[in-house]
Amino acid sequence: TGVTMMYGANASWSLQRSSDVGVRLNHALAYSRTVVMMPMRDGVKLHAVILRPVGSETSGPPLPFLMERTPYGTDDNSSDTVNSSKPELAASGYIFVYCDIRGRYESEGQFVMNRPIVAHGTKNDVDETTDTRDTIDWLLKNVPNNNGRVGVMGVSYPGFLAMMAGIDAHPAVKAISPQAPMTDVWMGDDFFHNGAFRETYGFDYVQELEKQKTAKTVESKEDTYDFFLKHVNFAGAAKEAHMSKLPTAKAFLTQPAYTKFWRDMAVQTHLTKVEVPALEVGGWWDQEDMWGTQAEYAALERHDTKHEVFLVLGPWNHGGWEWTTRHLGALDFGASTGDQYRKTVEAPFFEKYLKDRGGFDLKDTDSFRTGVNKWERYDVWPPKVGFTAEKLYLTEGGGLSFSAPVDGGVAASYVSDPANPIPYRHRPIQATYGNGSKWRTWLVEDQRFVSGRKDLANFSTPVLDHDVTVTGDVAADLFAATTGSDADWVVKLIDVYPDDAAGEMAGYQLMIADEIFRGRYVSSFEKPQALVPGKVTEFKWSLHGVDHTFLKGHRIMVEVQSSWFPLYDRNPQTYVPNIMTAPKKAYKAETETIYGSEKYPSHLEISVAQ
């Protein structure tokens, strides 16, 4: 029978295993369960559930620990859940430790969202690195027949916590796997992207985590598109939900720029050496923490003199590798990609570093190339050998070309009206994790539901007469002007399927890479500035990594728009110091112009297989 395991109310990556999962193993071990309270250096006690193969306390070889620290609750963990959620590792035999972090569920102390790392002067200077160290000290001393080694893994918030185990690491930590780790919630993960506020996500998640000690799913009474439009700005919506005083909501309201508060939380700045082998895992269509995996890998890779940093990027949404994942929305990858990853990479990785076993043969990067649906291995990400840097230019009349414009002028222009913002997914849009929500698959939705709108611009190549493989980082480099004094820019790289593609995929417009940039931050993320109306300005930002083949017969399309609502709050398009409290009168329709000339060549930077 299948097992459904939910981590608190945050079902974003909770495991749903059913009869199609195909991961049950005949040789599953029975696990015994112990509950402990572990004292930290400041006297606060943290709660953990320990699962180990029955009888392994007193006989058999000493076993390593495999730990997950989480804000989502640990009580549901049992012999059944460990065998279904980590079948390959459970069959091998580990001491699994599930720990409630400070202030959550049954642990004592004060919860702090994405608790920043502090200087460790006194025993009261605690953070997630010290709690991890103290937990490990306790486990090594108090849990019998352990082999003195610890692995730490987790997805999303627990992925952030897995990275914390690799900073100022306890000497017993021998391997970590941060998976979709939240890394910088202002720059590119859960709460802001390049300064654009993720209004629905911040609204729901902060209530779920900060209103009470145990998570509670936020449900919507109406289409959240209508709700957020009605309340004008985040301050209005937060007031309605009685959440304005929650610590992270207060930070949204008072510190919308990249202030010290957000910079102190950012993890990548702490990754100045490789302390332990690390397996970073992420998905091409991760709706929450796409940025973190790639940013952590990039930061660690610079210091990877011993080749101990690994990267897996697959065709997944947030945590999708924990399922079978042959399908995502309408997409069929032709094989159980989640099972493939866990069997061939994740389990052998921990077996190598925690049990000295062979079988881990990844040199650096394992990447699932979408479009042709096959795994590729690279010596480094992004790979250089075999690829050429190219520019894909946005040209007058909606063209997209590998040749730079020789004269040209305006490539496109549209009126963006904050009274009628572009929905980021099909309406009705339910609360993030609420009943009926399509949150988990929005990044693979067919973009035809918006691409005919007049308040955006699209650019397309002719039908391709050969396959085009794009591998590596994609950047948008837009030369644009607004009649207003602030503007958002969203750029989406889209694979347009032919009209005769099979079934649902006929004419499908699949986003391959996409990202938003809030115009006011063009010169500085710390100190926003008004844009000068009518002035052509260069906006450049990352759309993140891809590994995708646009097949012969398809078209490559780029779409530019100025709202993505209500995932992102509306830009009033009139500069106000704080968008969170922007008055209704500041929201004005403005004309956005994208240039495609020799002088102002708007383009995408891509890397194409030779």
**Chain contacts with ligand PG9 (rule: CB under 6 A):** 10, 12-13, 114, 156-157, 160, 182, 185, 190, 205, 288-289
The least distance separating ligand PG9 from the CB of residue 182, rounded to whole angstroms, comes to: 3
Contacts of 63 (CB under 8 A, 6+ apart): 52, 53, 56, 93, 94, 95, 145, 146, 147
The least CB distance from residue 51 to ligand PG9, in Å, is 22
Return the number of the residue (325 or 469) whose C-beta is nearest ligand PG9: 325
Alpha-helical (H) ranges within 413-481 are 448-451
Cis peptide before 428 (omega within 30 of 0): yes
Q: How far apart are CA 185 and CA 187, in angstroms?
A: 6
- Provide the minimum distance between the beta carbon of 75 and ligand PG9 in the complex, in angstroms, as a whole number: 18
* Residue 589 C-beta: closest distance to ligand PG9, Å: 33
Query: In terms of Cα–Cα distance, which of 139, 606, 586 is closest to 390?
Result: 606
Q: In terms of CB distance, is 12 or 471 closer to ligand PG9? A: 12
Query: Would you say 13 or 414 has its CB closer to ligand PG9?
Result: 13
Which residue, 160 or 479, has its beta carbon nearer to ligand PG9? 160
Q: Which of 290/309 has CB closer to ligand PG9? A: 290
Judged by beta carbon, residue 112 or residue 530, the one nearer ligand PG9 is 112
Least gap, CB of 295 to ligand PG9 (angstroms):
14
Nearer to ligand PG9, 316 or 387 (CB): 316
What minimum distance in Å lies between the beta carbon of 319 and ligand PG9? 7
Report the first-to-last Cα separation within the chain, whole angstroms: 48
> Is residue 480 classed as helix, strand or coil in its secondary structure?
strand
Q: Residue 298: how many CA atoms within 13 Å on its side-chain side? A: 15
CB 364 to ligand PG9: min, Å: 26
Nearer to ligand PG9, 185 or 394 (CB): 185
Check if the beta carbon of residue 180 is closer than 8 Å to that of residue 293: yes
Do the Cβ atoms of 151 and 174 come closer than 8 Å? yes
Side-chain-side CA neighbours of 62 within 13 Å: the count stands at 12
Residue from 272, 271, 270, 248 nearest 261 by CA: 248
Residue 204 or residue 547: which is nearer to ligand PG9 going by CB? 204
Tell me whether residue 11 or residue 560 sits nearer to ligand PG9 (CB atom): 11
Residues in the chain: 610
Q: Under DSSP, is residue 130 helix (H, G, I), strand (E, B) or coil?
A: helix
Nearest approach in angstroms of CB 74 to ligand PG9 is: 14
What is the spatial distance between Cα 465 and Cα 460, in angstroms, rounded to a whole number?
A: 14
> Least Å distance between CB 486 and ligand PG9?
26
CA angle 478, 479, 482 (to 5 degrees): 110
**Whole-number Å distance between alpha carbons of 395 and 403:** 10
| Nearest distance, CB of residue 547 and ligand PG9, angstroms | 23
DSSP per residue, 513-575: EEEEEEGGGSS-SSS--PPPTT--EEEEEEEEEEEEEE-TT-EEEEEEES--BTTBPPP-SS-
